[in-house]
Amino acid sequence: MIELTGYSLTLEQIRRVCYGEELVSICPESMRKVQESRAAVEKIVAEKRTIYGINTGFGKFSDVIIEEDDVNLLQLNLIRSHACGVGEPFPEIVSRAMVLLRLNALLKGFSGIRPVIAERLVGLLNCKIHPVIPQQGSLGASGDLAPLSHLALVLIGEGKVHYNGKICSTEEAYNQARVNPIMLQAKEGLALINGTQAMTAMGVINWLEANELGYQSEMIAALTMEGLEGIIDAFHPAIHEARGYPQQIAVAKRMRVMLSGSNLITRQGEKRVQDAYSLRCIPQVHGASWQAFDYVKEKLEIEVNAATDNPLIFDGGETIISGGNFHGQPIAIAMDFMKIAAAELASISERRIERLVNPQLNDLPPFLSSQPGLQSGAMIMQYCAASLVSENKTLAHPASVDSIPSSANQEDHVSMGTIAARHAYSIIQNVRRVLAIECICALQAVQYRGVDKMSPQTRLFYEEARMIVPSITEDRVFSEDIERLADWLKKNNGCWTGLMEEKRGQGIIKNTI
């Protein structure tokens, strides 16, 4: 069980909660801070002090004073009116992450909610009741208002949820789980929706998937190196240490480890003096993507523990400040950066696919076909990869440089961070399919070269992958192969890495550089 404090949540813990469905609990000290913050809100209401979002309207209506008898209705109206998201829902795992992150932010004790709100969010996670949240409709400032309003609807018993493997009304799920709706009180609606948790939750899932794809891309590239009898000298440590980028050095080292013991790789001058860039520059290109992924991770680690609503309550209610922590610009830029970094993994992969299938660039059967001419082989798989790469180029256009004023120009600069995060997710899915295509082609190429000549590391991966996609002996519907292998990569992150570690522990594979 993971104890939440509002200050210490890590990406690895988010992985465990979202993918491993680990239970969560609240740190008692954090709950004490929540209680103190709530007492401050109740004091403000009792003293009839005018504070934004507690007894005023929202956005352009911030100058409208709300009567004490209506402060609770104000919060209900806020949630219902702002729940205007449209389009397909976020993946359920993103919805789960969103609940977790909103809970963690509220536990910092700056938001003025009652403990029952935090307890209900814990209940949603531990009972696996996940809000159905439309993807479109957020400007990324004032936070993710529309998506988080759909999350807040569930607390009051409205909207829809994922529960027991299906989508149903919140009312139906609550009846089955024996849960009662909550009546929101002063500031609680605003505290629930004024934040960056939609873009950040999507961003965390993006990073977790992209991080795995980075390692997978290297293993698949190593397979391609063997299929094309690539030159190992390009990964010599001296080259990469001479430049100095840690990520580039690390990629080169991993490539050497994966290819150690291979009889399919060559030395410079044996068959050719130099390889094409898509082989020779794997550490430089992949390493640059890792640099971006590291930057994104740093920003996400800050944001998942950030107070992002408005206003924030300090000093036991003595200091209440309206600010702009809900503005998603840090995550918007990070997601745009991630889009470029992920897209480049597919871009260089597609070039390696071309080298695997083009008979003018290798000595393999044309398009890896068993009967060139009669059988087209992998010809159109390269078309598919090229299409996905081109699509990624349009999706990689930065969202963070765009802004449209809203709320009668009161909110006159917005981040579009949720759009950036959503597009990053689409790019990552495309990247995985491109890597799946490279993998299918590389598997076929090393089969022609001789599986017995592969390195122990790539041989282990080859055997696992061949259980998913059989050898190409004749033309078939390759769409099914691509999707099946992409699904395997997504669901079995690191499966061969674990096998290699097991073999290393048994002394079968040496970690030789």
**The 3-state secondary structure of 223-234, one letter per residue:** HHHHHCCCEHHH
Q: Do the domains 2-195 and 203-308+326-401+416-505 sit in the same CATH topology, yes or no? A: no
Whether pLDDT at 188 is above 80: yes
What is the rounded CA–CA span in Å between residue 36 and residue 44?
13
* Domain assignments of the chain as residue spans, ordered by start: 2-195, 203-308+326-401+416-505
Q: What is the pTM of this model?
A: 0.94
Give the CATH superfamily of 2-195: Fumarase/aspartase (N-terminal domain) (1.10.275.10)
What is the rounded CA–CA span in Å between residue 398 and residue 332?
9
- Cβ neighbours of 405 (radius 10 Å): 12
Per residue in 163-187, pLDDT (tens digit) is 999 999 999 999 999 999 999 998 9
Q: Please give the structure tokens belonging to residue 411.
A: 């909110």
In this structure, CATH architecture of domain 203-308+326-401+416-505:
Up-down Bundle (1.20)
The pLDDT of residue 493: 55
Amino acid at 14: I
Q: Of 242-256, 350-364, 401-415, which range is least confident?
A: 401-415
The pLDDT of residue 409: 79
429 exposed, middle or buried (CB, 10 Å; 0-12, 13-18, 19+)?
middle
Q: How confident is the model at residue 49 (pLDDT cuts 50, 70, 90)?
A: confident
Q: What values do phi and psi take at 338, rounded to 5?
A: -65, -40
- Cβ neighbours of 390 (radius 10 Å): 12
What is the rounded CA–CA span in Å between residue 397 and residue 213?
21
Q: Please give the structure tokens belonging to residue 366.
A: 């044309």
52 is catalytic: yes
Q: How are beta strands 24-26 and 2-4 bridged, if at all?
A: parallel
Per residue in 399-436, pLDDT (tens digit) is 999 988 888 777 888 899 999 999 999 999 999 999 99
**Mean pLDDT, the chain, whole residue set:** 92
Per residue in 112-157, pLDDT (tens digit) is 999 999 999 999 999 999 999 999 999 998 889 999 999 999 999 9
What is the rounded CA–CA span in Å between residue 293 and residue 252?
17
What is the rounded CA–CA span in Å between residue 102 and residue 321?
20
Rounded average pLDDT over 449-470? 96
Q: What values do phi and psi take at 483, rounded to 5?
A: -65, -40
Nearest 5°: CA angle at 252, between 386 and 207? 60
The pLDDT of residue 505: 52
Q: Please give the structure tokens belonging to residue 361.
A: 């660039």
Selecting among 7, 19, 52, 215, the annotated active-site residue is: 52
